[in-house]
């Protein structure tokens, strides 16, 4: 059965993620309230302002439910602000889901004048570098145990990482036409769904 991907639609560039999924033939659902979390197979937390999205998660009573889903293995992908919201440590008091053990530096490259585009190698997606748009972007300063880096800039700065179903990118694949990161996340969702359906078989093929 085709998966339903929830896109957290409290604030930010959620429509761009919906369109990217649509181009891959996948249905998405805007998640604006707790009830919209029911029955989703994966969740994307879009770019936006992490402080705003965090506060809205709190006032809408969604922080704990999303955290619980993540802990239970729901694949979740955070882009930019979404990466910050997944992190355990962002160096300042603000609501995050604390699902992915990474240390994050917010606005790490400077102000808007330092926002940039670059072609970043992402070995997991093949040889062709990924067209990455960084907007007041964070960086990953520390990787916790079990967290794998997926993309680094030429100076070694880590800008994407994953652990199991959790995926975090400091840049915005949804602002480009390159579908590879969305497909990569959908593959995580498919793997999880297959695991749920027949854990023994999947375990055997690992």
Partner 1 sequence: MQTVNGANEIYTNGDGVEKSTWATKTGLAQMLKGGVIMDVVTPEQARLAEDAGAVAVMALERVPSDIRKEGGVARMSPPELVAAIKEAVTIPVMAKARIGHFVEAQVLEALDIDYIDESEVLTPADDRFHIEKHAFKIPFVCGARDLGEALRRIGEGAAMIRSKGEPGTGNIVEAVRHLREITGGIRRLQTAPREELMTIAKELGAPYELVRQVAAAGKLPVVLFCAGGVATPADAALVMQLGAEGVFVGSGIFKSADPARTARAIVQATTNFRDAALIAEVSKGLGEPMKGLELGAIPAESLMAPRGW
Q: Which of 38, 119, 146, 197 forms a contact with partner 1 (CB under 8 A)?
A: 119
For partner 1, the binding residues in 176-205 under the rule CB under 8 A are 176
Residue 125 makes CB contacts below 8 A (sequence gap 6+) with 180, 181, 184
Tell me whether residue 3 or residue 129 sits nearer to partner 1 (CB atom): 129
Which range, of 20-28, 41-49, 70-78, 191-199, touches partner 1 by CB under 8 A?
41-49
How far is it, in rounded angstroms, from Cα 1 to Cα 42? 14
How far is it, in rounded angstroms, from Cα 71 to Cα 105? 23
Kindly list the distances between the CA atom of residue 33 and the CA atoms of 9, 59, 62, 78, in Å, as whole numbers in the listed order.
9, 10, 7, 18
**172 part of the active site:** yes
Q: Are 76 and 185 in contact (CB under 8 A)?
A: no
**117 part of the active site:** no
Nearest distance from C-beta of residue 126 to partner 1, angstroms = 18
- 173 makes contact with partner 1 (CB under 8 A): no
Place of tokens 């297959």: 194
Q: Which residues bind partner 1 (CB under 8 A)?
A: 9-16, 32-33, 47-49, 51-52, 55-56, 59-60, 80-81, 92, 106-107, 110-119, 133-136, 154, 172, 175-176
Residues serving a catalytic function are 80, 172, 174
């Amino acid at each position: 059965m085709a998966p339903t991907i929830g896109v957290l639609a409290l604030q930010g560039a959620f429509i761009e993620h919906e369109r990217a999924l649509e181009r891959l033939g996948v249905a998405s659902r805007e998640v604006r309230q707790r009830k919209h979390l029911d029955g989703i197979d994966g969740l994307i937390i879009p770019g936006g302002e992490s402080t705003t999205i965090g506060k809205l998660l709190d006032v809408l009573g969604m922080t704990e439910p999303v955290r619980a889903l993540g802990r239970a293995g729901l694949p979740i992908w955070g882009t930019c602000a979404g990466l910050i919201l997944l992190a355990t440590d962002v160096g300042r008091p603000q609501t995050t889901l604390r699902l992915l053990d990474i240390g994050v530096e917010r606005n790490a490259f400077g102000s808007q004048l330092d926002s940039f585009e670059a072609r970043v190698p992402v070995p997991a997606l093949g040889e062709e570098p990924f067209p990455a748009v960084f907007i007041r972007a964070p960086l990953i300063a520390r990787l916790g145990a079990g967290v794998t880096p997926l993309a680094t800039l030429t100076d070694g700065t880590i800008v994407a990482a994953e652990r199991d179903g959790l995926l975090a990118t400091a840049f915005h694949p949804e602002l480009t036409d390159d579908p590879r990161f969305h497909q990569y996340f959908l593959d995580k969702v498919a793997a999880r769904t297959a695991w749920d359906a027949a854990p023994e078989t999947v375990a055997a093929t690992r």
